[in-house]
Amino acid sequence: MGAAVIGDDGRFLAMRRSDTGAWQLPGGVVERGEGPLEAVRREVLEETGVLIEPERLTGVYKNMPMGVVSLVFRCHMVGGDPRPTKEATEVAWLTLGEIKDHMVEAFAIRLQDAATTVNEGPHVRLHDGISLIAEQETRC
């Protein structure tokens, strides 16, 4: 589950993970008895201190070697203050250009897709954890 939180200025909420040091969008696992929208709200708050409201599904991403599927929702901030947490050593608002510089392709594309998916269905993409498997990209 991932959140593409877009600010009024068009920048995206990003976090540097405390366990790996990698920059990613906030997100995590849906817990038992929890729906996807509830999970994305909880994960963003836990990891960044930001309250969000999901708007729409923008992508489905599968890490082929690990067999993990992630749903990404475009979201907007409704409260809170971005801050480091036990899961994030840094929290920042980044432009798409900064995202490309800070994140591996498999994560940067999720935010790029959220920025460009307006009245179209979500992207469906496969990756290896770092790079896209480009020939498999489709749109629903």
Residue 87 structural domain? 2-139
Task: Give the count of domains, the chain.
Answer: 1
Q: Note down pLDDT in tens along the chain; length 140 residues.
A: 999 999 999 999 999 999 999 999 999 999 999 999 999 999 999 999 999 999 999 999 999 999 999 999 999 999 999 999 999 999 999 999 999 999 999 999 999 999 986 677 799 999 999 999 976 556 66
The 3 state secondary structure assigned to 32-92 is: CCCCHHHHHHHHHHHHHCEEEEEEEEEEEEEECCCCEEEEEEEEEEEEECCCCCCCEEEEE
Q: Which residues are catalytic?
A: 90
Instruction: Give phi and psi for 12, each to the nearest 5.
Output: -110, 140
Give the CATH number for residue 93: 3.90.79.10
Mean pLDDT of the chain: 94
Structure-token pair, residue 105: 């392709």
**pLDDT of 122:** 92
Share of the chain above pLDDT 70, in %: 93
